[in-house]
Amino acid sequence: MINKPKGTYDLYGKDAKVFLYLEDVIKTLMDSYNYEYIKTPVFEQSNLFHRGVGPSSDIIRKETYDFIDRGDRNMTLRPEGTASIVRSYIENKFYANNISPQKFWYIDKMYRYERPQKGRLREFFQFGCEAFDSDSPMLDAEIISIPVSLLERLGITNIKVRINSLGDEQTRKSYKEALVNYLNEKIDDLCSDCKDRFTKNPLRILDCKIDKDSPIIKNAPKITDYLTDSSKEHFDEVLEYLNDLEINYEVDPYIIRGLDYYTDTVFEIEATINDESMIICGGGRYDKLVEDLEGPQTKAIGFAVGIERIMSIIDTLKLDEDIPKNELDTFVVPLTKQANHFALSLNQALRLVGLSSELDYKQRSIKSCFKQAELLNAKFIILIGEDEIKNDYVTIKNLSTKEEKQLKNHEILEYLFEQLDSDEEHCCSCHNKDHKHEN
């Protein structure tokens, strides 16, 4: 038997419904925030991520899925969405658009060759947003408010927003010097990865998964003490705007984030369920990335949420009413081979007017068809036999009231809509199940 690759999963059944529900909630949320949907390729030229995400990040050092295509080009399955969207922003000249800031959202699969464990997959979905061409601290607050609103709508309340500022280039230069001075004598006590980071990118040491609880890291200098005046002003304003939006946060001066492109504001959202905490969202400003990838000077900010991590903590019982059930309006049964033609056409006609309908493809016995209709949660079963074909009618049974009727073909739709309308308050004109009468 061929199994699925390590760190991947099949999405089906209830989880698939929760996923589609989540997509719907996100879409509605993004419409209200006026963000545009964007989709980029699953693979990109490797250089994009090496230059975008940064060579000293764990993602690039050990987690990318790289391959050489048949034309000898180095390609990488995207480990995250930001670099791809920046590439698209530059390549499609979105910056020439008169509407500004330009704001995008996506739900896409990402690929990281990580050691699979709870909440850490090799193929996973991220919902993310990227907003270009504004350095307004109000936009920072807006970006942070999106995942917060999403979690609120999903009933996930036990969350902590942690925020920090990595400042501008001058900030990071002075902080790096202070950190290197501090770590100089202590680096031998940290892990081998940290020793490597010490020469390549010492700030990364603060993000080490192995040494994160070491007193050496806990007592390290704080970047917030090294912010330049303009970075401090920006950060203070972001915090004020978060207060305006009534978003609770904690300033955590040791948040560095695992990707190299961040400048100024960075943040993470942690959720705690049953004493277990996990980071479900991360983001921040990347005011230099568009330029670094050869676009015009453009400030930008974004975030991404791990969909599987959210799905693992959603209380599906609470959402049960919102998650659509498997239901069918009609189950059409041809009782003879001769009836197939009419049954197939009728089933199609029912679907075209907006009903959900299924056909018995297997020429089952009537008893099995009733069983099948019950398993499919069908509201009506429509039987078409020899007599029905000869005399131009069908037999319809309402499976909850057990009422049975013989109807002429031209009466079928009117009867069904009448019955379904009274059942579910369908809108009479559009027959859309989700559209309720306004009164």
Q: Which residues bind ligand HAM (CB under 6 A)?
A: 80-82, 112, 114, 119-121, 124, 126, 128, 130, 258-259, 279-284, 286, 302-306, 308-309
Q: Are 132 and 85 in contact (CB under 8 A)?
A: no
Q: Which is nearer to ligand HAM, 308 or 329 (CB)?
A: 308
Least Cβ distance, residue 279 to ligand HAM (angstroms): 5
Least Cβ distance, residue 370 to ligand HAM (angstroms): 44
Q: Which is nearer to ligand HAM, 121 or 179 (CB)?
A: 121
Least Cβ distance, residue 258 to ligand HAM (angstroms): 5
Q: Which is nearer to ligand HAM, 121 or 227 (CB)?
A: 121
Least Cβ distance, residue 306 to ligand HAM (angstroms): 2
Q: Which is nearer to ligand HAM, 126 or 171 (CB)?
A: 126
For helices 137-153 and 229-244, give the axis angle rounded to 10 degrees: 40
Q: Are 178 and 238 in contact (CB under 8 A)?
A: no
Least Cβ distance, residue 424 to ligand HAM (angstroms): 37
Q: Which is nearer to ligand HAM, 205 or 416 (CB)?
A: 205
Least Cβ distance, residue 150 to ligand HAM (angstroms): 12
Indicate the residue whose CB is closest to ligand HAM. Answer: 306
Q: Which residues, in sequence order, are CB contacts of 1 under 8 Å at separation 6+?
A: none
Q: Which is nearer to ligand HAM, 151 or 389 (CB)?
A: 151
Least Cβ distance, residue 109 to ligand HAM (angstroms): 11
Q: Which is nearer to ligand HAM, 82 or 419 (CB)?
A: 82
CA 404 to chain centre: 46
Q: Are 261 and 53 in contact (CB under 8 A)?
A: yes
Structure-block tokens of residue 357:
């309908």
Q: Which is nearer to ligand HAM, 54 or 128 (CB)?
A: 128
Work out whether the CA dihedral 153, 256, 287, 110 comes out positive or negative.
negative
Q: Which is nearer to ligand HAM, 254 or 415 (CB)?
A: 254
Least Cβ distance, residue 241 to ligand HAM (angstroms): 18
Least Cβ distance, residue 417 to ligand HAM (angstroms): 45
Place of tokens 């390290």: 220
Least Cβ distance, residue 85 to ligand HAM (angstroms): 8
Q: Which is nearer to ligand HAM, 235 or 303 (CB)?
A: 303
- Mapping DSSP onto H, E and C, the string for the chain reads CCCCCCCCCCCCHHHHHHHHHHHHHHHHHHHHHCCEECCCCCEEEHHHHHHHCCCCCHHHHHHCEEEECCCCCEEEECCCCHHHHHHHHHHCCHHHCCCCCEEEEEEEEEECCCCCECCECCEEEEEEEEEECCCCHHHHHHHHHHHHHHHHHCCCCCEEEEEEECCCHHHHHHHHHHHHHHHCCCHHHCCHHHHHHHHHCHHHHHHCCCCCCCHHHHCCCCHHHHCCHHHHHHHHHHHHHHHHCCCCCEECCCCCCCCCCCEEEEEEEEEEECCEEEEEEEEEECCCHHHHCCCCCCCEEEEEEEHHHHHHHCCHHHHCCCCCCCCEEEEEEECCHHHHHHHHHHHHHHHHCCCCEEECCCCCCHHHHHHHHHHCCEEEEEEECHHHHHHCEEEEEECCCCCEEEEEHHHHHHHHHHHHHHHHCECCCCCCCCCECCC
Least Cβ distance, residue 122 to ligand HAM (angstroms): 7
Q: Which is nearer to ligand HAM, 119 or 221 (CB)?
A: 119
